[in-house]
A = this chain, B = another copy of it.
Amino acid sequence: MAGPGGKKEKVDKADKAGKKKKDLKKETGLGLSVKKDENFGEWFCKHEMIEYYDISGCYILRPWSMAIWEIMQIFFDAEIKKMKVKSCYCPLFVSPGVLEKEKDHIEGFAPEVAWVTKSGKHDLEVPIAIRPTSETVMYPYYSKWIRGHRDLPLKLNQWCNVVRWEFSNPTPFIRSREFLWQEGHTAFATKEEADEEVLQILELYRRIYEEYLAVPVVKGMKSENEKFAGGLYTTSVEAFIPNTGRGVQGATSHCLGQNFAKMFEINYENEKGETAMVWQNSWAYSTRTIGVMIMTHGDDKGLVLPPKVASVQVVVIPVPYKDANTQGIFDACVATVAALEKAGIRAEADLRDNYSPGWKYSNWEMKGVPLRIEIGPRDLENKQVRTVRRDNGVKEDIPSESLVEHVEKLLGEIQQNMFQVAKQKREACVEEVKTWDEFTEALNKKKLILAPWCDEEEVERDVKARTKGETGAAKTLCSPFEQPELPQGTLCFASGKPATKWTYWGRSY
């Protein structure tokens, strides 16, 4: 199958990676040596979120990150089921004929499509594509399932893996060759219903980012250049990472219009007995959400996890002294965890006897646990516990009898504070520009640029061309739904033509 040369190379890579990490571990015991902005991938690895895999661009999602994914999944799945969206599962494979049916669509994805050509030792009759997304997988069957107006709306969603064999440098969560996502695919009788759902879903994506991940996002419309290949229009929630000065597309909710319906003949008989064509949407968010959260909140001590998605919200650490009642302290830790868990708080005690309290503090700080509780002899005496917040380091002694109320309050405050801090940081990066010079200057200062634009495709292409560099070209992120006032006669910063809207620009992931 693989030439021995090929095999060998892979194995070597894996070994090197392995050694490299082991050495680093030795060096610090915690990998704190790795600064967030220096080596992002390495940084991810240290905190047990992912593991590098011996196939480039693929990563193992470890329990510390999967728990976050599952919490978001429970929220989102329940919300869309309230909207009468039903679960399905469609095949991983697409036959070429179908994949290539919608020209713009395939043009957008073709270069990244992975192809299966063999099973065992035999060549397949026809190469088979692995889904980069499932429009072409599902829509031939929509045309079969949808006959009359009573079959509408049809609303399906699946949780699955997709593969996009990208070559631009892979980053854990943010740009990987396989990732997990949900993809919703819906069909309606009218454009109005489709338009309405696009925004309902986009609001759920905003809530995932702002309420769960404590990441501020902007809702807006993608440009023609940036919209979904083959769709009518694309809305998105856009985040921004101050440290790197890059925008990142958080999730997208597309109105596909009737383009796919034409290609796949998704027609139905309406109330009047006439043949009509459906209006379609598709919408998705992926494990990229986790990467955006990590980049937004992480610091040089490591991760900072929002309480709502942290699999361990509170870690309880015994702080014994030689002469102290160690057993009593350990018992108090266990009792504290029990009390918190009883109240539905995700808590864990770190009773390992081979690590010092100090080592444990840094270890759990690195892993981003929102709240640490320390219990020492004096705490035991005074019937109190010491709380330490991960987000701002604030320490507090709280009476044991009101433990649960205090902790619940603190976790709520941490969640709120993380969002507010992130929002302020992002807003401090926003810069309004009117001219090309202001634009390039702001770009070099890694700003999130808000500029008046003529909304012409060639102009965006031109801006990309003029800003190309090893840090990547600038492009539109979105035109925010909340538009600042645009005075009569305002000109496009790039073309000098009359501006039609304010648009966010920047480099992006």
Chain A interface residues (CB < 8 Å from chain B): 1-3, 6-11, 14, 18, 21-22, 51, 53-55, 58-63, 66-67, 69-70, 86-93, 95-98, 110-121, 125-130, 138, 140-141, 144-145, 150, 156, 160-161, 163, 165, 178, 180, 352, 354
Contact = CB atoms under 8 A, between A and B. Distances in A.
Nearest to A115: B118
Nearest to A53: B91
Given A6-B126, A63-B86, A97-B7, A55 B91 contact: yes
A1 B127 contact: yes
30 contacts: A1-B129, A2-B96, A2-B126, A7-B126, A9-B125, A9-B126, A10-B97, A10-B98, A10-B126, A11-B97, A11-B98, A14-B140, A21-B144, A51-B144, A54-B140, A55-B128, A59-B91, A60-B91, A66-B88, A67-B86, A70-B87, A92-B178, A93-B178, A112-B119, A116-B116, A116-B117, A117-B118, A119-B165, A120-B165, A160-B161
Secondary structure dominating the interface of A: mixed
Contacts of A111: 120-121
A263 to B, nearest CB: 13
Given A96-B2, A120-B112, A352 B91 contact: no
Contacts of A63: 86-88, 156
A117 B127 CA distance: 10
Contacts of A1: 96, 115, 127, 129
Contact of A116 (B61, B89, B130): B130
Contacts of A7: 95-97, 126
A460 B89 CA distance: 38
A115 B126 contact: no
Given A61-B89, A91-B58, A141-B60, A127 B120 contact: no
A409 to B, nearest CB: 27
Given A60-B91, A63-B88, A116 B114 contact: yes
Number of copies: 2
A116 B163 CA distance: 11
A493 to B, nearest CB: 35
Contact of A144 (B18, B114, B121): B18
Given A63-B87, A66-B89, A110-B120, 8 more contacts: A7-B95, A55-B93, A58-B92, A62-B88, A67-B87, A111-B120, A120-B165, A150-B352
A389 B70 CA distance: 37
Contacts of A125: 6, 9
Contacts of A96: 1-2, 6-7, 10
Contacts of A18: 144
A119 B115 contact: yes
Contacts of A53: 90-91
A303 to B, nearest CB: 17
A192 B468 CA distance: 62
A116 B115 contact: yes
Given A95-B54, A118-B117, A89 B60 contact: yes
B89 A141 contact: no
Contacts of A61: 88-90
